[in-house]
Every structure is written in C-alpha cells, then in structure tokens.
Amino acid sequence: MNLYPMYTKTISGLNRIANAFEQAKKENRPALMPYHTLGYPDQETSLDVICAIADAGADLIELGVPFSDPLADGPSIQSSTQVALEQGMSVARCMEMVKELRTRGIKQPLIMMGYMNPILSYGCKRYVSDAVAAEADGLIVPDLPPEEAVCLEPSCKSYEMALIYMLSPASSPERIKQIAQRTTGFLYLVSLAGVTGARKELAVGLSDFTARAKAAAHTPTAVGFGISTPQQVRAVGEMADGVIVGSALTDAVRKGSDPVKAAGDFVRWLRG
C-alpha cells in the first residue's frame, strides 16, 4: 500500500515535509530519511538506487549534491562524491536528476544537501528557483551559518521551500535557540562532534542534546551522523522525530553486487 499522497506542486515543500513527519508520528515511529549522493555510482544507477530507497519505505530522501571539499562528510560519502564528480556531475545535472525522480513517480519529500561554494557559483536565487522547478522540497547547506544566509533565506521563504540548519552538540543554549528558530522544515541535529560515518555506538550525551534542542524547536527534529542499524534507528526515534542515515547506506551500495537491490534491502532492514 502506498502511504504517500500523490505528489503535487500545489503543496509547498514545507507542507510536504511536515506531512511526512506527521505520517510517521501517526505510525508511532521516527521518520526515516536515507541519504544518497546524486550520480553515485553513476547517474543512471543513482536514479535507480533512489527509486529503490523510496519503494523500500523512506519517508523523506536527502540527495547529496557532489562537491570536491565536503567538509562535513567522512570517507564513505567523500568517496561517493568524488566518483560522481569524476563522471561529470554538476549542480545543473543534479537539478535534472531531481526532476527525473519526480517523473519516475517519487512522491516523498526530496531534500538537496550541498555546500555553499557550488551554490554561490551557480547563483543563490537561481539555485533555489531551479530546485523548486525541479520539485525539490528543501535545502541542507552544512557550511552555511544563519548569519550568512541572506543569499538563500529570502528566496526559500518566497517559494515556501525549507532551509534546514544543522545544530552541533557543542552548541551553547543561546545558539540552540537561535538555530532552532531560524530553521524551517526540520532541525538537523548532528549527533556527534566529527564527520559523517557509520559507528557502532550512539554518541554519549545524545539524549540530553536532543532534549535541549527539542525544547527550543518549532519544527520536527531529525538526528544524523553515525547511525547505521535498526537498533540505533529505534533508539534515536525515542529521542527525536526523524533519523538520517547516509554513510552506512553508501557502504551498502558500494559493497553490493547489485547496488539497487542492496539499497532497497538496506532501507527495508532499517525500517524492520
């Protein structure tokens, strides 16, 4: 049974994201948001992988826009972005791929994760307008602090597109309050001080950090970095509204003899 309403451009990105979190909440579970790099291991397989992720039960999907210096990412995602770049992936091609995913019937909210240098090179207003035209729902920009968001925030607001800020566990109470109030769509909680990458244990202090962030938030919260197993998904789901899994999925795609099947099986495993 398809749990997701027919995709329609008449619903704003902010509303689609809110609906996805609300649907998961009704089912008494966290919203699951897998991450995959656009163009990895190649453009066509990448599209098939993302479709498999959607079919396997993803509630939202984070799409990585390849960049040569992904400072927030660990070895697995760094490698995937480098492979994609070597095959000619660009911001413009990423926009085309998002549109193609909609053409293929993907209904879940699509969140584009990319860094500021490619966005500035492409043009901030053009980046947002093209993302909206491609039918993306939100943006994550890891190296964009709210103080420097004047180039993106007005355009995202005008299109009702989410601009999702990341919050680290080292943040002061004042910083937590500031970022929690500025984010739209959801608040991305970085589970640990470091880069992305699958880890055997959840970070010490994550429950306290999540509680402090939720107390300040006006949106759902989602935790990412270091999550790789169904047990960790369930544990994080007791703390936050959503769970983001990237490196472990990338590893499954890389190791699988059939990357598409590996991606779908991995997401079904997380959901199970």
| Angle between helix 91-103 and helix 124-133 axes, rounded to 10 deg | 20
Q: Show the CA angle centred on residue 168, arms to residues 165 and 169, nearest 5°.
A: 145
For position 195, what pLDDT does the model report? 44
Say if residue 79's pLDDT is above 80. Answer: yes
115-124: pLDDT as tens digits: 999 999 999 9
Using 50, 70 and 90 to split pLDDT, how confident is the model at 10?
Answer: low
Burial group, residue 115, by CB count within 10 angstroms (0-12, 13-18, 19+): buried
For position 141, what pLDDT does the model report? 97
Mean pLDDT score, 83-88: 95
Say if residue 8's pLDDT is above 60. Answer: no
Percent of the chain with pLDDT over 90: 84
Using 50, 70 and 90 to split pLDDT, how confident is the model at 70?
Answer: confident
Whether residue 27 contacts residue 4, with contact meaning beta carbons closer than 8 Å, is answered with no
- Clarify whether 73 is annotated catalytic: yes
- Clarify whether 258 is annotated catalytic: no
Domains assigned to the chain? 31-271 (3.20.20.70)
Whether residue 223 contacts residue 207, with contact meaning beta carbons closer than 8 Å, is answered with no
Q: Which residue has the higher pLDDT, 262 or 68?
A: 262
Say if residue 236's pLDDT is above 50. Answer: yes
Say if residue 226's pLDDT is above 90. Answer: no
21-57: pLDDT as tens digits: 999 999 999 999 999 999 999 999 999 999 999 999 9
Whether residue 227 contacts residue 233, with contact meaning beta carbons closer than 8 Å, is answered with yes
- State the Cα–Cα distance between residues 153 and 33, nearest whole angstrom: 23
Say if residue 67's pLDDT is above 50. Answer: yes
Q: Residues 6 or more apart from 27 whose CB is under 8 A from it?
A: none
For position 202, what pLDDT does the model report? 72
Q: What is the DSSP string of 89-148?
A: --HHHHHHHHHHHHHTT--S-EEEE--HHHHHHH-HHHHHHHHHHTT--EEE-TT--GGG
Whether residue 197 contacts residue 247, with contact meaning beta carbons closer than 8 Å, is answered with yes
- State the Cα–Cα distance between residues 208 and 212, nearest whole angstrom: 6
Alpha carbon 164 to chain centroid distance?
9
Say if residue 253's pLDDT is above 90. Answer: yes
In angstroms, the Cα distances linking 42 to 113, 127, 203, 248 are 18, 23, 33, 18
- State the Cα–Cα distance between residues 160 and 154, nearest whole angstrom: 10
Using 50, 70 and 90 to split pLDDT, how confident is the model at 1?
Answer: very low
Cα dihedral 234→25→187→210 (10° resolution): -50
Say if residue 65's pLDDT is above 70. Answer: yes
Whether residue 64 contacts residue 38, with contact meaning beta carbons closer than 8 Å, is answered with yes
Active-site residue (options: 42, 48, 55, 62): 62
Active-site residue (options: 22, 42, 73, 86): 73
Q: Which residue has the higher pLDDT, 202 or 18?
A: 18
